[in-house]
Amino acid sequence: MNSKRNKGFTLLEVLVALAVFSVAAIALMRVSESQLRLSQRLEEKTFAHWVALNMVSEMQANQDWPNLGEQTGKVSMAGRDWKIVIKTQSTPVARVRRIDVSVGIAPKDFTEALVPITVLTGFIEQPNVQVMGSEP
């Protein structure tokens, strides 16, 4: 006697296949979410570092001689507001000052403490002050 057998999938096999697929899909979603967060963080660090480099470069180009202590400011770049804290310290060389530029995303309330994304250290040399009529 020949009996015909169905060659399709049983309901149990389909459910097991769906369970395996859903576990794999969830794992892939978590990996892509993690990659997205990492990409956003790297973008923030890059822009914050550029802001800090710009501040040091401007101070050097303008030949600013910063006062000792701490200054706070705000700058816009890449569609974001950045809070900057510049700490100026003396060095063993009297004509050179050390500046530490901390940059983070500006909080809504500007009085909140800065959560730095990057900190850049630079050195500024005191500009030569020439008196009119004197030779260099």
- What CATH number does the domain containing 100 carry? 3.30.1300.30
- Does residue 135 belong to any structural domain of this protein? no
Domain membership of residue 68 (yes or no) is yes
Would 130 be classed as within a structural domain? no
Domain that holds residue 78: 11-125
Q: Which residues contact 122 (CB under 8 A, 6 or more apart)?
A: 56, 59, 60, 98, 99, 101
Closest CA to 40 of 80, 86, 84: 80
In the prediction, which pLDDT does 99 show? 95
On whether residue 77 sits in a domain, the answer given is yes
**What's the total number of domains in the chain?**
1
Q: Residue 47: its pLDDT value, please?
A: 95
Residue 3 lies in a domain: no
The reply to whether the predicted model has a pTM over 0.95 is no
pLDDT at 64: 81
Could you report the average pLDDT of every consecutive run of 10 residues in the chain (136 residues)?
67 91 94 93 94 92 88 90 94 93 86 85 83 53
Distance separating alpha carbons of residues 75 and 115, to the nearest angstrom: 15
